[in-house]
Structure 1
Amino acid sequence: MSVKRVKLVVAYDGTNYCGWQVQPNGITIEGVLNRELSKLLKEDIVVIGASRTDSGVHSYGNVAVFDTNARMPAEKISYALNQRLPEDIVVQNSCEVPPDWHPRHCNSRKTYEYRILNREFPMPQRRLDTWFVYRKLNIPAMCEAARRFKGTHDFKSFCSVNTAVEDTTRTIYSCELKQDGEVLTIRITGSGFLYNMVRIIAGTLFDVGIGKIAPEDIPAILEKKDRKAAGPTAPAHGLTMIGLEYEIRPETLMRPGGKLTEK
């Protein structure tokens, strides 16, 4: 039997999980997918995710791939797998991709949203997907500050000090804050993100909102390349990964029947 690579688009509520990546001391999204795919396809399956979201972080469309010898058509796997998954994890799509395609090694745009509930008292229904903030926020100042993240910058000030990467330069294509009643949504799209980068940007915009940081301070904070210069790391549960847009969609490289198209 020939091996095929299958791509999954996975949505999940991260509340009850210790993040995406498998770890020994807790239930993870990756661990549940590995377990249920292995049972379904009757072979050992290990998925590779595009984004290793943290504990409590949600997703509308994280991307993962795995290799399998199973005869089940790739597009049918999502239907069969969803019958086995818990209700807080749902595969939105499955399809075959080229055998060497990797979700983290291709040019893409990744989008996250961070939501703040800004009101006098918490709202129980939003406790798991928004950061409750009771203090009055200067929304125009936060909008102005958000726009200053756009462009290519060294984001060393906006990642955890233990981030194990050599290059902390990233490109942000857009960073906007929109208000819908009591919910503020920070929507940010970039070429990639450092560990806790979006949550630190959200925390810094909070500091702008309470007047601790001025919008015009953002370039200087970037220039300092010092985590202490930026604001706090906002809570994980307010963060949702919206999805990824690949420069070349891998499924377009496949012909019906699992054959590669000519490049």
Structure 2
Amino acid sequence: MADTKRFFIEISYKGTNYHGWQVQPNAITVQELLDKALSIFFRQKVETLGCGRTDTGVHATQFFAHFDLTDFGSVLKDSTLQSINSLLPFDISAKSLTETSATAHARFDASLRSYEYHIHFEKSPFLHELSWLLRDKLIVSAMNQAASELLNYTDFSCFSKSNTQVFTNNCKISRAEWVETAQGLIFHISADRFLRNMVRAIVGTMVEIGKGKLAPDAIHQIIESKNRSNAGASVPSCGLYLTNVKYPYI
């Protein structure tokens, strides 16, 4: 049996043109194009496994995947990333490549993930597809009051997409905060794990609170109901970014 080595690759991408990260039979995805580029460069079939699964239109400023090579030669050369990037489209960028242990796992070893959700309030061609244009003014203090309560819960079934096959809906959120910027608002959220559609559902609920349609303390009843229909609508994918993934060994 040939020797193998495992590598972690760090990438970033603008998700507008892709049906998410994970390979799909009839749609273009980030994983498909990354696997193709790596297979061409290393001259062997490469299949990556990502740190998560972003949905259609979602962006990532930091995303990790691991893959194995059986004929690795001198992989970590100065020109390697440049060569891989030349095989990737303009909206996907390889940022780093590191050799790791044979048991390292991009998905299961991640100890913390962070997302941002961007909202702007005035039409801008430079934010189109990169932020959600919202006409309504929001009460940010009320949204932050509700956001702070997320840290007191672990079961977020009410924000999970229906019919997902997961062992548990428990997550430990360590940060949930709205920050005002020159361009609008950014919601920062960090946790040990996230459920499918969780961040977009949380933001949708917070926006209802920011509009004054819900009181900040309504977040308690929504979470404790464990019912997705009680939470707000899922907001558009264009404003969502995976921004940070932490590992014990990186």
Give the TM interval when normalised to the shorter protein: over 0.9
- 1:11: Cα distance to partner? 0.2
Q: Structure 1: give runs of 5+ residues left out of the alignment.
A: 251-263
Alpha-carbon contact 2:51-2:110 (below 8 Å) kept:
no
Q: Secondary structure at the match of 2:9?
A: strand
Q: Which runs of 5+ in 2 are unaligned?
A: none
Q: What is the correspondence of 1:171-182 to structure 2 with a 5 Å cutoff? A: 171-182=172-183
Name the amino acid aligned to 2:116: E
Partner of 1:22: 23
Aligned to 1:148, what secondary structure does the other structure show? helix
1:117 to 107, 115, 120: 120
Bigger share in strand:
1
How far apart, in 2, do the equivalents of 1:16 and 1:228 lie? 30
- Name the residue aligned to 1:231: 232
Partner residue in 2 for 1:221:
222
Q: Hey, what's the Cα distance between the residues in 1 that align with 2:110 and 2:118?
A: 27
2:73 matched residue in structure 1: 71
Tell me the C-alpha RMSD between the 2 structures: 1.3
Percent identity, aligned pairs only, is 34
1:145 Cα deviation from its structure 2 partner: 1.2
Paired residues, number: 247
Once residues 213 and 64 of structure 1 are traced to their aligned partners in structure 2, the CA distance between those partners, rounded to angstroms, is: 40
* 209-218 vs 41-50, which moves further: 209-218
Query: How far off its partner does 1:75 sit?
Result: 5.7
1:55-107 Cα offsets, whole Å, 9 max, x none, are 10000111100001221323653232112111110011100000111111225
Hey, which bits of structure 1, 4+ residues long, moved more than 6 A? none
- TM-score normalised to the size of structure 1? 0.90
Residues of 1 paired with 2:77 and 2:212: CA distance? Answer: 51
Q: Give 3-state SS (helix, strand or coil) of 2:39's partner.
A: helix
TM-score by length of 2: 0.95
Render the CA deviation track for 1:156-207: whole Å, top value 9, x for unaligned.
0001112221310110001000001341000000000000000001111111
Structure 1 residue 139, shift from structure 2 partner:
1.3
Map 1:1-263; keep pairs closer than 5 Å.
2-68=3-69, 69-74=71-76, 76=78, 77-119=80-122, 122-246=123-247, 248-250=248-250
- In structure 2, give the amino acid aligned to 1:161: S
1:236 corresponds to which letter in structure 2? S
